[in-house]
Amino acid sequence: MNLPSPDTLINRELGILAFHRRVLAQADDPEVPLLERLKFLCIVSSNMDEFFEVRMAGLKEQLRANSTQRSDDGLTPRQQYRAVADMAHALVDKQYELLNRDVIPALAKRDIHFFRRTHWTETQAAWIRDYFLRELMPVLTPVGLDPSHPFPLVLNKSLNFAVELSGRDAFGRNSGAAVVQAPRALPRFIRMPEEIAGCEYGFVFLSSILHAHVGELFAGMTVEGCYQFRVTRNSDLFVDDEETKNLRQALQGELPQRHFGAAVRLEVADNCSESMAAFLLEQFELERDDLYQVNGPVNLVRLMQVPDWVDRPELKYTPFTPALPARLANKEDIFAQIKKGDILLHHPFESFQPVIHFIEQAAADPNVVAIRQTVYRTGTDSKLMMALIRAAQSGKEVTVVVELMARFDEEANINWAAKLEEVGAHVIYGVVGYKTHAKLALVIRREDGELKRYAHLGTGNYHARTARMYTDFGLMTCDEAITADANSLFTQITGLGKAGKLKRLWQAPFTLHSEVLAAIQRETDLATAGKPAAIVAKMNSLLEPQVIAALYAASQAGVKIDLIVRGVCALRPGIAGLSDNIRVRSIVGRFLEHTRIFYFKNEGDELVYLSSADWMDRNFFRRIETGFPVLNPKLKKRVIAEGLKPYLRDNVQAWEMQSDGSYRCKKPGRAKPYQAQGVLLELISR
C-alpha cells in the first residue's frame, strides 16, 4: 500500500496544539460556568506543560543532534520547531489575555477577588507582611550569585524568583543578582480571612507577596527588580532495555533525574528586564524563542484548587449522580448477573462502582481461585489495588501486569507493585519494549466443580477519579471465546511463547493493525461493488499512515466515513478526489472524550469493536492493546446510540476539521442546539 504524500497529512505537533486551542475556547465561552472556565485555563496550562516536557523536548533533541529526518508531513525539525514555537506563543498569549480580560474581572463581579499588590489596602498589606514574616521567610533560602555561589540547580516546573540588587552586603559582595526558590510545599495562592479581604473569597498570589517583601531577605541592599520564573525540562525517561536487568530498580534510579533534564522552556513575568531574561536564557542554554513572558502567575495549574475552595454551585457544572444498571442496583451477586448476559457500562454517565465491586467481590469470594489484571493508570489511593492486595493475602492466585512506564504515573505504579509483591502477588512489568496499555481484568471462579472465567474489558484506565471525568465504555462478560482470549493474552504477557490465534479479540502488536485494515478494505470492496458501505470511528488520535491511506482509498471508492477524533488527526478530510467522503470532528466539553469505538457497516451485519487503542503507530506496533467486539445486539445498539450518534449530531461542542487542517466550531444556527454530553447526562445519569 502506498503511503499518503506529505501534502495530504497534518503535522502531529501542530495538531496537538490545535487541540489545546479547542480546550482554551471553553474558557472563552460565556455559556460555560465561570469557575469551570477557570478550570479550563488550568487544564490548558497542564496540557502545555506536558507538551513541552515531551513533544517540544523531542524536537529540541532532534535539533541538538542536527537531525535531518522529516516529519510525515514533510517538515524538517527546524521547520517544525519554528511553526510550533509560533503557535505555542500565540496560544499562551491568548490564555493570559482571557485570564486578565475576562475570567478574573468576571470573578470579581461575583465577589471572588485576586488582589494585586497595587490594590492592597493598608489592612491587607499589614496582614500580608505578617504572613510573609511568619509563614514564608523562615523557609526561603536566598542564593546570591557570585564565584562561590554559582547559579543553583532549578527543579522542573518549580517557582523561582530572579532578584536584581545594588549595594554591598556584610562581606562586601556586590554581585548584583540572586535567586530565591519557592519550596514546593508552599501554597501558590493564599486565601485571606474574610474580615481582611472585605469579601468572602479573597486571594493573594504567593508571587505578589514575595515581590512585595523580597527585600527582607537581603538586608541593607536595594532590590532593583524581582521577577518570577519557571523552567520546563525534558521529562522523558530513558531506560536501556538491553542493559537493564531490573526495570523497577532502573526506573527508581531514573525518576529523580526527571526534575533535572535539559531545559526546553523558560517562563518569566512580563515585567522581567531584558538583561535578566537574557541572563536566564544563557543559564538554561535556551534560545529566544524558548522564552515565554506572561502577564500573571507563571504556573496557572495551581489555580485548579480555587473552584474546590469556592462554594458557589451556581458557578460550576450541575452535579450529577452516575447511574447504575438496573441489574446491579442492589449489589447482587455480580457473577450471577454477568452469567445472565453481558453488562455494558458507559462512564461517567454510569458509575465505575460495578468495576470496583467486581474485583472486591472476587477478592472476598471463596470460590474465586485467581484474579488477573492490567494496571496502566490507577491513582495513589485505589480501592481496586487494595482489593487485589486483600485477595493475595487470602491466598488467591493474583497476577497483576503493572506498566511501570506509564508516563507521569511511574512512581505510583512502582509503589503499588512493591505493595503487591509484599503480599505474594505475581507482579509482571509487561514485555520489554512494549507498553501494556490494554484495560483488562480476568476472574477465574470454581462453579459446580469446573472453572468459569469472567472478564472486564475497557477503553479507559482502572482509575475511579478519572472515570468521573473521562468518557469510556466497559464490558463485563463471561463469553467463553472472549474470556479464553483474555486468558491467552495474560499467559502471553507473563510467560514465553509465540502468539496464538485469538478468536474474538484484536490484539496489538500482532493483529489489531491488520484487522482494522481488513475491516476498512471490506467496506471499500462493498462500495466498489455498488453496495452501501460506512465507517464510523471514535478515538483520541489518528496518525498511522497505512490506516490513513486505507481510509483515503475507501473514500475514493465511495465509503461514507465519519471520524470523531478528540485530539490530533493527521488525515485531511474533504480533499477533492481523495477524501470527499470523509468528515472529521472533535468534541470538547465538560468531559474528556476518551472512548475508542470502531464501527463498520459490514453489509448490514454491523461490526462494533471497543478498544484501548488509538489509530497511532505506537498503539499498533509498540504497545500491548486490545480491541473487543460488542456481540449482544442490544448492547451493540447502545454503543451506536450513545457512543456515536449523539457526537455526530452535536452542534454545540463539535469542531469540524477543514481540508487545510484548521477547525471550525459548529454552530446550531436555526437548528435546535444539541449537545451530546448534556443529552447523555439527561438520558443516563440522575
Q: How many whole angstroms separate alpha carbon 462 and alpha carbon 423?
A: 21
Mean per-residue pLDDT of the chain: 91
- Answer yes or no: 211 catalytic: no
Q: How many whole angstroms separate alpha carbon 405 and alpha carbon 436?
A: 9
The 10s digit of each residue's pLDDT in 483-538 is 999 999 999 988 766 777 899 999 999 999 999 999 999 999 999 999 999 999 99
Please check the confidence at residue 250 and state whether its pLDDT lies above 80. Answer: no
Contact call for residues 27 and 92 (beta carbons, < 8 A): no
> Position 465: which residue type?
R
The 10s digit of each residue's pLDDT in 424-449 is 899 888 777 888 899 999 999 999 99
Burial class (CB in 10 A: 0-12, 13-18, 19+), 350: buried
Judge if 6-315 and 326-503 fold alike in CATH terms: no
Q: Which fold has domain 6-315?
A: polyphosphate kinase like (3.30.1840)
| Mean of pLDDT values over 264-285 | 95
- Calculate the dihedral angle through the C-alpha atoms of 527, 532, 536, 541, rounding to the nearest 10 degrees: 10
Q: Which fold has domain 326-503?
A: Endonuclease; Chain A (3.30.870)
Please check the confidence at residue 251 and state whether its pLDDT lies above 50. Answer: no
Please check the confidence at residue 240 and state whether its pLDDT lies above 50. Answer: no
pLDDT-based confidence at 376, cuts 50/70/90?
Answer: confident
| Mean of pLDDT values over 372-398 | 90
Beta partners for residue 562, in sequence order: 536, 583
Residue 550: closest CA among 458, 484, 462, 620: 620
pLDDT-based confidence at 248, cuts 50/70/90?
Answer: very low
pLDDT-based confidence at 629, cuts 50/70/90?
Answer: very high
State the CB neighbour count (10 A cutoff) for residue 213: 19
The 10s digit of each residue's pLDDT in 673-682 is 999 999 999 9
> What does the chain come to in residues?
686
| Mean of pLDDT values over 332-359 | 95
Please check the confidence at residue 283 and state whether its pLDDT lies above 90. Answer: yes
Beta partners for residue 663, in sequence order: 657
Q: How many whole angstroms separate alpha carbon 236 and alpha carbon 55?
A: 9
| Mean of pLDDT values over 582-605 | 97
Please check the confidence at residue 6 and state whether its pLDDT lies above 70. Answer: yes
> Which sequence spans correspond to the domains of the chain?
6-315, 326-503, 507-684
| Mean of pLDDT values over 614-639 | 97
Contact call for residues 149 and 240 (beta carbons, < 8 A): no
Question: Who's near 240: CB < 8 A, 6+ residues apart?
Answer: none
Give pLDDT, residue 233. Answer: 93
pLDDT-based confidence at 258, cuts 50/70/90?
Answer: very low
Contact call for residues 264 and 84 (beta carbons, < 8 A): no
Beta partners for residue 560, in sequence order: 534
Selected catalytic residue, list 346, 437, 456, 513: 437
CATH number belonging to the domain at 507-684, selected among 1.10.10.10, 3.40.190.10, 3.30.870.10, 3.40.50.11890:
3.30.870.10
Give pLDDT, residue 259. Answer: 52
Share of the chain above pLDDT 90, in %: 78
> Which of 189-198, 378-387, 552-561, 570-579 shows the lowest mean pLDDT across its residues?
378-387
Instruction: Show the DSSP H helices in 587-626 as ranges.
Output: 617-621
Q: How many whole angstroms separate alpha carbon 628 and alpha carbon 613?
A: 11
- Higher-pLDDT residue of 415 and 479 is 479
Helices (H) and strands (E) in the chain, counts: 22, 27
Give pLDDT, residue 147. Answer: 57
> Position 129: which residue type?
R
| Mean of pLDDT values over 86-98 | 97
pLDDT-based confidence at 175, cuts 50/70/90?
Answer: low
Pairing of strands 435-436, 112-114: unpaired
pLDDT-based confidence at 239, cuts 50/70/90?
Answer: very low
For the chain, the first-to-last Cα distance in angstroms comes to: 49
Give pLDDT, residue 382. Answer: 87
| Mean of pLDDT values over 150-161 | 90
DSSP-derived letter for residue 1 is -
